Amino acid sequence: MSLVKAVAACILAAATMATAQESGIRVRSIRVLATDPEAIATFYKRAFGMSETRRPANTATFREIVINSGSTADVAKMATTTPIVIATRPKDAPAGAMAALILQVPDLDKAIESAKANGGTLIRPTAKSEEGLSFAFVKDPDGNQIELVLAPK
């Protein structure tokens, strides 16, 4: 890559990051699907020194385990890195499937309308989690799923 192209790429990346920061949108977490979330959480803990920070969903058929960088839960809870949400993989989802990019947004309704106005589709309307998070699911024009999350104030 030429120096001019490299500089142009850096400027474009910086401008894109500034726009995302100005809009208040940030990557909240990345979800990884697993047939056995406990086993996969243990893998990440042992292989990469991560620790569990919380379990936002836990039913007879669905489990979520949030992990992040840190040798203990306390260290992982203070980490500024993007956490991994390990969730039960639906029976019809293929191995290696990724459920969603999860974006925290400052205004959920506005984010949904913006996604729709730009070619996205709403696939699951706004709901509220046990933790008090409001969330909805949209797809981008290529069919990639995005979870939009509004944290409680």
- Binned at pLDDT 50, 70 and 90, residue 8 comes out as very low
Residue 111's identity, in one-letter code, is A
Count of Cβ atoms closer than 10 Å to residue 148 Cβ: 28
| 136 vs 95 pLDDT, higher one | 136
Distance, in Å, from the CA atom of 28 to the CA atom of 104, rounded to the nearest integer, reads: 5
Task: Please give the domain boundaries of the chain with CATH numbers for all domains.
Answer: 24-150 (3.10.180.10)
To the question of pTM greater than 0.85 for the whole model, the response is no
3-state secondary structure the chain: CCHHHHHHHHHHHHHHHHHHHHHCCEEEEEEEEECCHHHHHHHHHHHHCEEEEECCCECCCCEEEEEEECCCHHHHHHCCCCCEEEEECCCCCCCCCCCCEEEECCCHHHHHHHHHHCCCEEEEEEEECCCCCEEEEEECCCCCEEEEEECCC
Q: What is the pLDDT of residues 87-112, one digit of tens each?
A: 998 888 887 776 567 888 999 999 99
Residue 6 has pLDDT above 80, yes or no: no
How many Cα atoms within 13 Å fall on the side-chain side of residue 50? 23
- Binned at pLDDT 50, 70 and 90, residue 116 comes out as very high
Distances (CA, A) of 21 to 10, 18, 78, 98, 134: 16, 5, 21, 25, 21
Distance, in Å, from the CA atom of 132 to the CA atom of 152, rounded to the nearest integer, reads: 6
Per the CB < 8 A criterion, the answer to whether 106 and 24 are in contact is yes
